[in-house]
Structure 1
Amino acid sequence: MEKKMLFPDYIFESSWEVCNKVGGIYTVLSTRAKTLTDIIRDRLIFIGPDCWGEKQSPYFRPDSSLLENWEKKANAEGLKVKVGRWDIPGKPIAVLVDFKPYFDKKNEIYTSLWEKYQVDSLHAYGDYDEASMFSYAAGLVVENLYYYLNLAPQKVIYHANEWMTGLGMLYVKDKLPKVGTIWTTHATSIGRSIAGNNKPLYDYLWCYNGDQMAEELNIQSKHSIEKQTAFNADAFTTVSDITATECHELIGKPVDVVLPNGFENDFVPKGATFTKKRKEARKKILRLANCLVGREFGDDTLIVGTSGRYEFRNKGIDVFTEAMNRLLRDDRLEKQVIALIEVPAWVGSPREDLKERYLSGKTFDTPLEFPMVTHWLNDMSHDNVIDMMKYLNMWNRKEDKVVVIFIPCYLNGDDGIINTPYYDVIIGKDLSVYPSYYEPWGYTPLESVAFKVPCITTDLAGFGVWANTIKGAYSEIEDGVKTIHRTDYNYSEVVDVIKDTIVKFSKMSEAQVKKARANADKLSKKALWNEFIGYYRKAYDIALTKANKR
């Protein structure tokens, strides 16, 4: 008879990105929350850092009716917390904890960690201390609530995300042995560092020694907390098969379960609203290009784009720029192309000359000076995108078939030029390109296909591998996702495949494009959380089974 899987009565989950929008982990947690709250309601409690002090977090709604007596008690005892709800679908309970008071006992905390788990905090620098003190405070919150709510008879899970929460997970493991612990690494520090330092990661993966590389790349402390958390978690998990291989080779422990990143598509407009928003987005992008370049762009202009964190090599921004340069010189391209690079850089201010043009409502036939960037940067002479465009002599000339526009700010609806949120821009694209070199999962391509925008990615991104798995072969642009085989050394080949795919897409009939868009939409629905939550059930069962044995 099949064993019934254990499911928690309570889940505590912590991350630096709870009520704190920094990157992809925010998307993972905030979109998964509704699926879990539908199952266990207010017995899901998120713990995040109080980075806001006296100010109000835009993602957090205080609610004094929740855990009211505990909040008062904890604050009276010196554990400074705010209790409320995370302002996302599902509205889960969130506890924000002030971690600054623990800096005073930092050395004592690190000594205890060394004695119990041999975690090396000696070489710590940068964000290590801040993350560790938050992690410790999160562990105190779990311990405090565990006793306050009398959870000893219940099945309880503590789920920690990324190295930043490792210290707290080890604290919970030590103090609350009945709690099942799960740790998810969304990318290994050492893998990201090898890739970011232009070293070949994949061909040599099995030759690298994680400890030795951590020393060479000066990230011993982050690697050490990752390694010990991985070995001590009841369930060690990651987000894709690619990162699972990386964990095995660089951390030295195979993962227990792969937890692929799903999402909820409730932010995608439907029907007539979708059509209207797509038209509006295209109009804004075509207008932006006219104001910069001084040329009119017709409705049949192909709008392509890339976006994400500004990791020039890891995210393949270098490959995208090179592909646009080669596309510029490809005689087979019959359509005009506007290529957007939407990555937040060290932005200074919106360009006043561009703003004036954009708001005037007029059409222009002369370019602005420097017609490739929407905002001035604090250091215009040291920026990877601008440097590469200059090197390749890409100046968005009036006669160029391909125009590249760098939007170097967060598209939060308040950028000072187009003042449009990211999702209201992506909907206007025809094609998106994410040629990642290092991408454990990849939300940007998933968001793209959810908006029916076919995309090009690589098999070094978890999402690209997943798309191939769904098809049972390499996915093509007609399927909604084109997955390119990428290695440490085939940069130029990848550039050409992107260029050729865009040329091919530009020649597709209206019916073919419609089909590719429908397939993109169909694929995105296979990645909804109700499809992926089963992997979490498996992780909960593993962790609770181990906790029971203790």
Structure 2
Amino acid sequence: MNSKLIHADFVFETSWEVCNKVGGIYTVLSSIAKTLEQRHKNNVCFVGPDIWKDDACPYFKESKTLHKDWVKAAADGGLKIRVGHWLVPGKPLAVLVDFKTYYNIKDQLYGLAWEYFKVDSLHSYGDYDEASMFSYAAGRFAEIIIREFLSEKKHIVYQAHEWMSGLGMMFLKKNLPQVATVFTTHATSIGRSITSNNKNLYEYFEGYNGDQMALELNMEAKHSVEKQSAHRADCFTTVSSFTNKECIQLLEKAADVVIPNGFENDFVPVGAELTKTRKKARTAIINAAEALTASKIEDDVLIVSTSGRNDFRCKGFDVYIDALSELNSQLKGIQNAKKTMVLALVEVPAWCAGAREDLAERLKTKDTYSEPLNEPNLTHWLHNPYEDRILNMIKALGLNNEPNDPVKVVFIPCYLEGNDGIFNMSYYDLLTANDLCVYPSYYEPWGYTPLESCAFSIPCITTDLSGFGQWVNETKGHDCTLNEGVAVLHRDDNNYFKVSADISLAIMAYSELTPRQRSNIRKKAAAIANQAQWSTFADNYMQAFHFALQKAQSQQ
């Protein structure tokens, strides 16, 4: 790290996903926590929402003795907080803020937000109020603690992640101008909304105006707070050069510093531990597939998976399922003594109603089965099976796990935290079972899943519409291929079926490699991940903090 950088004396990291496992930002912050703690000698506080009412947060351990003075000072300021540790590597200091009381003055706060920052909350709906009240409460908490306990510290940074944290950041900056503010957008609200509404983002990219699209998509409030946060923060950051272009076009503000998402591989098993975990995971997956389909699946079956937040188009789940259908047809047409078999997983949380009792019973008794179960693609019941896009596309393309289907498709629609009732293993443990992962994103500002795959020595297929895919190509200096550990396929608005065909061909080609060839590719995948560790990428956070601190000082 550059010794000439201004070093933060204390850092607040604020996000809706602190101690709240919702999406990718949880992974970002939970994985960088240990590194930030080390670099700032424990002078870091993560601030998240207290949405747990009287229940215990499963990701947070409250302490009744830690910073009791903070709890009292916050209470004196009308704010209820819980102080403890986030149960992630490093176990950093975390504070959960109760924001419900601010609903009583919501309209007043929105009026001030317009007066001070030109944030237009008039057309707010949905989760805007909840996020804004949390954001204000988080900023208010930081203000109280800084005034009461950190006033002697010269260099204080408040980093707000996504539009859900921006409003409180701006109020904090107005009340304490000396605090250096960093605003990070991981994906613009308008960019994500354009793609989620099945509009072509890239073909007309240079013609899009963020304000105009916010009006068209009924996103004025979220876009307004995001845009003003980007312009008013001391340092505006985003996670990839790919997303920076989006910020320039839709927010009319270029990032001051790009801060790519890294990974902490301390918990990645190696050697004998990895072998043991991989064997256990493969056994669990194969057993579940056999119980569902009543088909014999060999131990050396090629296990392929995709995973991520349930964003059907953006994550490319549609093109993945299409590719599996094409692969199934291709393999059926091959006449040889031993056909390739592929066990394809879709590990995507949906509206899960719980583990299937009939499947759990089969796994428990370990009997042989002559008939498949009803819904042989599904490990857990859904509340809305007739509306689920993933399940319906699997069925529509005839991926029904018939005995003569060389590609068996299993949809796992639950969070894998070790207690799902079928596998009872964590996502990362099940990840070790894979031979190949596929993440054909249409819209992906960064892309943790392919990075995680590589960290576990599993080669993957992604696209150049993901920040990670673009970073891999930039690092390699060319379009990366699967033989190098990561295949980065070109994707645009008009080549859906080519991408599908390319994925199918890539899986087929990989299935034909020798064990030694696969082992070499696994090593190359791990080598790519090693270049994206937080030990390196955290330097970009330090650059952002320096930028913000320098600007805050210049304005005093």
Question: TM-score under structure 1 normalisation?
Answer: 0.98
Q: Match for residue 138 of structure 2?
A: 138
Pick the aligned partner of 2:519 from 514, 523, 526.
514
Taking only the aligned residue pairs, the percentage that are identical comes to 51
CA distance in 1, matches of 2:535, 2:358: 48
Q: Secondary structure at the match of 2:319?
A: helix
| Alignment of 1:358 onto 2:377 | no
Map 1:444-459 → 2, pairs under 5 A? 444-459=449-464
Give the equivalent residue in structure 1 for 2:469. 464
Q: Residue 344 of structure 1 aligns with which residue?
A: 349
Structure 2 CA distance for aligned equivalents of residues 67 and 356 of structure 1: 48
Mean Cα deviation higher: 164-173 or 50-59:
50-59
Residue in 1 that maps onto 2:497 = 492
Residue type of the partner of 1:11? V
Partner of 1:162: 162
Following superposition, the deviation at residue 363 of structure 1 comes to 2.9
- Worse-superposed segment, 38-47 or 131-140: 38-47
Q: Distance in 2 between matches of 1:73 and 1:165?
A: 22
The match for 2:384 is 379
Residue 546 of structure 2, aligned match among 523, 541, 545: 541
Q: Which whole-Å CA distance do the structure 2 matches of 1:485 and 1:322 have between them?
A: 17
Shift in Å, 1:420: 1.6
Structure 2 counterparts to residues 60-79 of structure 1, below 5 A: 60-79=60-79
Measured in 1, the distance between the counterparts of 2:235 and 2:413 equals 39
The alpha-carbon deviation at position 153 of structure 1 amounts to 4.6
Counterpart code for 2:466: A
Give the structure 2 partner of residue 107 of structure 1.
Answer: 107
* Equivalent-residue separation in structure 1 for 2:205 and 2:75 (angstroms): 48
* CA-to-aligned-CA distance 1:52-100 (integer Å, 9 cap, x gap): 1222111112223432222123224421111111121122111111000
- The one-character-per-residue Cα deviations of 1:186-223 (angstroms, maximum 9, x if unpaired) are 10000000000110001211100110101100010000
In structure 2, the residue matched to 1:319 is 319
The reply to whether residue 440 of structure 1 matches residue 445 of structure 2 is: yes
**Structure 1 position 443, deviation (Å):** 0.7
Q: Bigger CA drift: 183-192 or 77-86?
A: 77-86
Report if the CA contact (8 A) 2:5-2:546 is conserved: yes
Q: Which moved more, 1:438-447 or 1:33-42?
A: 33-42
Indicate yes or no: 2:252 matched with 1:247.
Answer: no
Residues 94-493 of structure 1 aligned to structure 2 (within 5 Å): 94-331=94-331, 334-493=339-498
Question: Partners in 2 of 1:525 and 1:364 — Cα distance?
Answer: 44
> Which amino acid in 1 is paired with 2:390?
V
| CA offset digits 1:333-378 (Å, max 9, x no partner) | 7410000001111112322221111111123342122211112211
Please tell me the root mean square deviation across aligned C-alpha atoms, in Å: 1.3
Check 1:231–1:152 CA distance in 2 against 1; reply closer, same or farther (3 A cut). Answer: farther
Write the letter of the residue equivalent to 2:444.
E
Contact 2:59 2:87 in 1 (8 A): yes
Check 1:480–1:109 CA distance in 2 against 1; reply closer, same or farther (3 A cut).
same
CA contact (8 A) 2:77 2:144 kept: no
Which residue of structure 2 aligns with residue 14 of structure 1? Answer: 14
Is the 8 Å Cα contact of residues 152 and 178 (structure 1) preserved in structure 2? no
| CA distance in structure 1 between the partners assigned to 2:153 and 2:512 by the alignment | 64
Return 238-247 or 265-274, whichever deviates more.
Answer: 265-274
Cα distance between partner residues in 2 of 1:150 and 1:517: 48
Deviates more, 1:70-79 or 1:367-376: 70-79
| Distance of 1:314 and 1:290 partners within structure 2 | 31
C-alpha distance in 1 between matches for 2:225 and 2:110: 11
Instruction: Classify 1:466/1:447 alpha carbon distance in 2 versus 1 (closer, same or farther; 3 Å).
Output: same
User: Which one-letter code corresponds to 2:328 in the other structure?
Assistant: L
* Structure 1 residue 28 displacement after superposition: 0.5
Tell me if the contact between 1:85 and 1:91 (Cα under 8 Å) persists in the aligned partners. yes
Give the letter for the 1:522 counterpart.
A
Letter in 2 for 1:88: V
CA contact (8 A) 2:10 2:153 kept: no
Per-residue CA distance 1:442-482 (angstroms, 9 max, x = gap): 11111111111110000001111111112111111111111
In the TM superposition, residue 13 of structure 1 has moved relative to its aligned partner by 1.2
Q: CA deviation at 1:41?
A: 2.3
Amino acid at match of 1:500: L
After TM superposition, give the deviation of residue 225 of structure 1 in Å. 0.3
Alignment match, 1:28: 28
Contact kept in structure 1, 2:241 and 2:258, CA below 8 Å: yes
Report the residue type matching 1:195 in the other structure: T
Distance in 2 of aligned mates of 1:524 and 1:122? 44
Whole-Å Cα distance in 1 between the matches of residues 68 and 354 of structure 2?
A: 43
SS of 1:330's equivalent in the other structure is helix
Moved over 4 A (4+): none
Question: Which deviates further from its counterpart, 187-196 or 258-267?
Answer: 258-267
Deviation at 1:379, TM superposition (A): 1.7
The CA distance in 2 between the partners of 1:22 and 1:222, in whole Å, is 18
* Structure 2 length-normalised TM: 0.97
- In the alignment, the residues of structure 2 paired with residue 70 and residue 146 of structure 1 have an alpha-carbon distance, to the nearest angstrom, of 10
1:300–1:335 Cα contact (<8 Å) kept = no
8 Å Cα contact 1:31/1:263 also seen in 2: yes
**Shift in alpha-carbon separation, 1:372–1:22, aligned structure 2, 3 A:** same
C-alpha distance in 1 between matches for 2:170 and 2:78? 22
Alpha-carbon shift at residue 391 of structure 1 (Å):
1.8
